[in-house]
Chain A
């Protein structure tokens, strides 16, 4: 009997926290996404009734043009930014793990460092390089005749992508390096005996063997992209290109915290989660198919 209850007692602190901070909020969000509040009177003084709305909130979310545009915007952002970032991480990891790398430890730490800076702070730092009048980059480009507004409606998305790439490239690089270090030395030895050059080692040994790590970083990045929040939120006061529902999460945030419409906010949150799930599953599926072919 004692041996049966012991694991539960030991796990209780975790399970309780997990239950009340993860499971319950998720269930409340799902329940709330099916509810809507109707009020009557000039300012609701004749009462408010919360009732089951079926898929009304979901329909409202999916027909909310700002929200659907924000999802499309994040897809575009993801296709470009995640690709650039993962390629950059992989190249950095391969370079740092190559035999001729100098001070790999120092560079590993240096590339990883931006990840240690919170997104809000990073965005404020970068904004000083973006804002016309403050930014030395804008000044220098101005001298050579290039007028660029990093915060203008057409460019600001890529200014955000730049901040995100700067923050997470080193982090993803580290995951890939960990996988590279796990490749047994005798495989390299065998390759060398077979006469493989450095490039051949990369394409035939390292890249295929770090595929699991690449998949992990890609899936994390897809989820991260859909949840983009802090960077556009901070930049919105300085940019004419960021509206109140610029990313899916900003939209859900606006409905929850500014419009007091929890049903709609919950529905949007569930849609974001489903989208992340579907995209991640798609990425996994593609990867598995490619894996089987090779």
Chain B
């Protein structure tokens, strides 16, 4: 293969134009948006408005249609995108950087500050969203707040609870679901003696650590004026870390595969893995355990003597993007979707969302006993108090995905025996501070 000369020069010419083009593109890409929160508020439109909403919730259009029926000013069109870390976020951020994109996008609660940091979000306090605080579950509302700004509308949450195989744990082994973490340890020992595992963890998934820390009462990321104060090695966190070091070194939980993975389902179906401690959305996933119907039940998340009843894991928000030309209308729709009983029921029915973000409404379907979970009315009896017992002080930091990956890699070291949580967390904190500083944020590590 010997390229012909004319073709080579043609390519060189093309490359030169492309280089100029690329330089132009790259030069403005990261800063294309982001100034919108300093500009004048966009007034509501006089005429009819069409909003687009990018999300990976299934059948979201059916939810939007419910809203479209209620009035004739605003039409919402839902567009399905891949899940956030599976490419959805990159798609949203690229669209915003290019000055386009939808009016509304689904963003996980913990990723909201990251999107704000990328200049992709409209600060909703400028559109009067602070007035709506009372309509929301305080635990949900707290997670979209950074300092005084409100960056998104919470769409669902995941208060922690314990889903367990009642038939095996209670009837076969004669144990009761642990109320405290100390009891969790002794129950796990008994379960291990019986040749089973109480719980499994995905060793590379660091997202359980913030859940455990916020339940214990720590606030890892504290915004103070324009500085982030990190508390990832404070007393409550270290106590929590020490506890899990003990659990890991005695191999009381299995770290071979994560909950809801293929092997997990196989083992859970066989009655070999007995529980999942995590977000309330685990209910829908637990319901697909083969042959589990009527055998499983839900209990409170095991807790500490101090700290809170529960913490949050997962959940997402609907964020108004900075490139939206109709933020007022977008907020109007989201107010309906996330607080109106009709909106909540539509989201539960069609999209199977996690815990309701509304203050006084958990969803019609969730006020009844569940056949799968041993006839227990678990939503009202367990999840509701768990949701109400969350820490309201927790704030998510920017770069949360990176932080969680760093924690996940740290957890792999702990599982591999090369470190402990008590050693790993302070190191992770140093790394995370460095990463945040590198992009220009002011960071302090609490003493």
Contact = CB atoms under 8 A, between A and B. Distances in A.
Nearest to B151: A43
Contacts, number: 158
Interface string B1-17: 00000000011001100
Interface residues of A, number: 52
Interface string B395-408: 00011011001001
B31 interface: yes
Contact of B26 (A31, A40, A149, A238): A31
A179 interface: no
Interface string A253-275: 01011111110000000000000
Contact of B402 (A127, A239, A259, A262): A259
B398 A44 contact: yes
Interface in A34-83: 35, 37-50, 60, 66
B37 interface: yes
A242 B204 contact: yes
B71 interface: no
Contacts of A149: 256
Given A38-B439, A258-B89, A238 B257 contact: yes
Contacts of B37: 45
Contact of A244 (B93, B149, B405): B405
Contacts of A245: 409
Interface string B205-247: 0000000000000000001011110000000000000000000
A47 B114 contact: no
B180 to A, nearest CB: 28
A60 B431 CA distance: 13
A162 interface: no
B118 A260 contact: yes
Interface stretch (B135-143, B266-274, B312-320, B368-376): B266-274
A41 B226 contact: yes
B25 A39 contact: no
Contacts of B267: 133
A259 B10 contact: no
Interface size for chain B: under 10, 10 to 19, 20 to 34, or 35 or more residues? 35 or more
A31 B23 CA distance: 7
Interface in B73-129: 85, 87, 89-90, 93, 113-114, 116-119, 123
A39 B228 contact: no
B261 A238 contact: yes
A50 B31 contact: yes
Nearest to B21: A24
B391 to A, nearest CB: 20
Contacts of A151: 256-257
Interface string A145-159: 000010101000000
A23 B15 contact: yes
B147 interface: yes
Given A149-B256, A242-B204, A42 B18 contact: no
Contacts of B272: 133
B255 A240 contact: yes
Contacts of B19: 27, 31
A165 interface: no
Contacts of A109: none
B29 A44 contact: no
A284 B428 CA distance: 43
B441 A39 contact: yes
A132 B256 contact: yes
A187 to B, nearest CB: 25
A242 B202 CA distance: 11
Contact of A49 (B22, B31, B87, B202): B31
A249 interface: no
A202 B228 CA distance: 69
B401 A259 contact: yes
Interface in B388-442: 398-399, 401-402, 405, 408-409, 412, 415-416, 438-441
Given A31-B26, A133-B272, A257 B87 contact: yes
Contacts of A227: none
B368 to A, nearest CB: 33
A19 interface: yes
A27 B203 CA distance: 38
Contacts of A19: 14, 18
Given A24-B18, A240-B415, A42 B223 contact: yes
A134 interface: yes
Contact of B93 (A127, A131, A260): A260
Contacts of B149: 43, 45
A263 B35 CA distance: 22
B195 interface: no
A116 B280 CA distance: 41
B263 interface: yes
Nearest to A32: B26
A15 interface: yes
Given A151-B256, A244-B409, A27 B266 contact: no
B70 interface: no
A262 B119 CA distance: 15
9 contacts: A28-B25, A28-B26, A35-B30, A48-B31, A50-B29, A131-B262, A151-B257, A244-B409, A245-B409
The 8 closest A-B pairs by CB, nearest first: A38-B440, A240-B203, A43-B116, A244-B405, A44-B117, A28-B22, A131-B263, A27-B22
Given A31-B23, A42-B146, A151-B257, 16 more contacts: A28-B26, A31-B19, A32-B29, A35-B26, A39-B117, A40-B441, A42-B226, A42-B228, A43-B116, A43-B149, A44-B116, A45-B123, A133-B272, A238-B262, A240-B415, A258-B89
